[in-house]
Amino acid sequence: MDQDTAYEAVRSRDPRFDGEFFFAVATTGIYCRPSCPAITPKRHNVHFYPTAAAAQGGGYRACRRCRPDAVPGSADWNARADVVGRAMRMITDGVVDREGVPGLATRLGYSARQVQRQLTAEVGAGPVALARAQRAHTARVLLQTTALPVTDVAFAAGFASVRQFNETVRQIYARTPSELRTETGTKTAKAVSSGAGVPLRLAYRGPYHAASVFDLLAAEAIDRIEEVAGEPGARTYRRTLRLPHGTGIAAVDELAPGPWLEARIHLTDLRDLTTAVQRLRRLFDLDADPYAVEERLTDDARLAALIARRPGLRSPGAADPEEFALRGVLGREESRRVLAEYGTPLADPCGTLTHLFPEPALLAHELPLAKALTDGWVRLDPGADRDDAEAALRAVAGVAPRTAALIRMRALGDPDVAPPDEPSADTWRPWRSYAHRHLWTDRTEKELQR
């Protein structure tokens, strides 16, 4: 997008571009999302940035009115298969916080200097700045939705020290952590105890066809690790999560009061909040750009009719890529068996949610894919190269080509997958996953009506 077009999006307060870029105003020193309701600044005072971290690096602080740090992520990072796209997916998953820039570079197969250079050139900020912006957002959420002490918030958000935390919050929000917590007019939930879980609003852009996502999750759910409760239109999806520092239980509501899904996350270690949020965002495909998808697919008459029937249909991902892959190979009944035999009991079960799905190492003796995942022969982390991953999957005994494609679509979040046994048109690129999701959803609904 050229800058004149971007300015037109700002002038029209177009929410379709929230998260796709940010604009900063030289005369006020703040940066905003394109849909900010404030008076539109003059063109010569406006600068554009591809990420919030880049705007922060330019010396701008976040707008108090539109809260630009709360927008959905750019759909580009899920669509792109290059180094920058893979790096962005890993940074949002918390890799830099856990392993540092050297760990990120090693996973990508590049030097730290190369990663820094490519990210800076593409998104205006390096991995440290991008991770810092994400930590600041997590801190704001914890400050405004829980009663955790400020010191606990600092370390839960991933900061190395309270001093670093205080300085970052002041720079990004122009307030102290205490002022951020007590401010009015943010419309955030009233602070609650950490025992009640962290309440969150998971933002998305455009229309969101929640019913189809919850139908799919209900059809796939396996007792003990997940459930969908309630009546259609007002259901709640709950599942257990295995996370880097501990475990968690997440709950997401189908009924969306705004351009977001209401969620609650219970964690044994709050340092896992960022990772847990990103896994839910991938599962519910919340960073998708339905406008771009539908613009391309409506050129096909059959898909145009399906899109009109289900605007905002998403291509769900997976909360745990390795679990999804193993379940895809095992099938429903075998998955239940291995869960009963090898599943890890939760230290603090919640209702029907009592276990975690077994790690690949526990199944390596009887399932070739589990051994390949354990040995690192197959990688399904957010930064995995999708072509390499699918090729490795197809080389594993027991993984059919269709299964490998579905794992690529769901576990790796690839928006452009065509199952090998179904017709697909090149005109659907780069959104073939969404085209097939429309076709499958329509087919499933017709079968249920018979």
What is the model's pLDDT at position 450?
Answer: 76
Task: Provide the CATH number for the domain formed by 3-70 in this structure.
Answer: 3.40.10.10
Other CB atoms within a 10 A radius of the CB of residue 205 amount to 25
Q: Where are the domains of the chain?
A: 3-70, 76-145+148-182, 321-410
Q: What mean pLDDT is reported for the chain?
A: 93
76-145+148-182 classified as CATH 1.10.10.60:
yes
- Choose among 54, 111, 165, 81: nearest CA to 101: 111
What is the model's pLDDT at position 160?
Answer: 87
d(CA 314, CA 284): 7
- Which structure tokens are listed for 263? 């969620």
Mean pLDDT of 347-361: 96
**Residues in the chain, overall count:** 450
Residue with the bigger pLDDT between 307 and 187: it is 307
Class of domain 321-410: mainly alpha
d(CA 348, CA 326): 25
What is the model's pLDDT at position 79?
Answer: 82
pLDDT greater than 60 at residue 88? yes
Mean pLDDT of 19-46: 96
Contact 60, 91 (CB under 8 A): no
- Choose among 66, 7, 56: nearest CA to 32: 66
In 72-203, alpha helices (H) = 76-79, 83-92, 95-108, 112-123, 127-145, 150-156, 162-173, 177-182
Question: CB under 8 Å, gap of 24 or more: what pairs does 305-310 form?
Answer: 306/438, 306/439, 306/441, 306/442, 307/438, 309/442, 310/209, 310/212, 310/438, 310/441
pLDDT greater than 70 at residue 188? no
The pairing of strands 30-32 and 236-242 is: unpaired
Mean pLDDT of 121-148: 92
pLDDT greater than 60 at residue 133? yes
Assign 99 a pLDDT band (cuts: 50, 70, 90): very high
Q: What pTM was computed for the model?
A: 0.93
- Which structure tokens are listed for 83? 């180094």
- Which structure tokens are listed for 248? 């968690």
The pairing of strands 236-242 and 226-229 is: antiparallel
Residue 22, helix vs strand vs coil: strand
Mean pLDDT of 431-444: 96
DSSP 236-286: EEEEEEE-SSSEEEEEEES--SBSEEEEEEEESSGGGHHHHHHHHHHHTTT
Is the bond leading into 430 cis (omega within 30 degrees of zero)? yes
pLDDT greater than 80 at residue 342? yes
pLDDT greater than 80 at residue 19? yes
Contact 227, 171 (CB under 8 A): no
- The predicted-structure confidence for 221-263, as pLDDT tens digits, reads as follows 999 999 999 999 999 999 999 999 999 999 999 998 889 999 9
Assign 193 a pLDDT band (cuts: 50, 70, 90): very low
pLDDT greater than 60 at residue 190? no
pLDDT greater than 70 at residue 195? no
Percentage of the chain exceeding pLDDT 90: 85
Burial 71-97 (b: 16+ CB within 10 A, else e): bbbbbbbbbbeebbbbbbbbbbbbbbb
- The predicted-structure confidence for 289-327, as pLDDT tens digits, reads as follows 999 999 999 999 999 999 999 999 999 999 999 999 999
- Which structure tokens are listed for 166? 């205080």
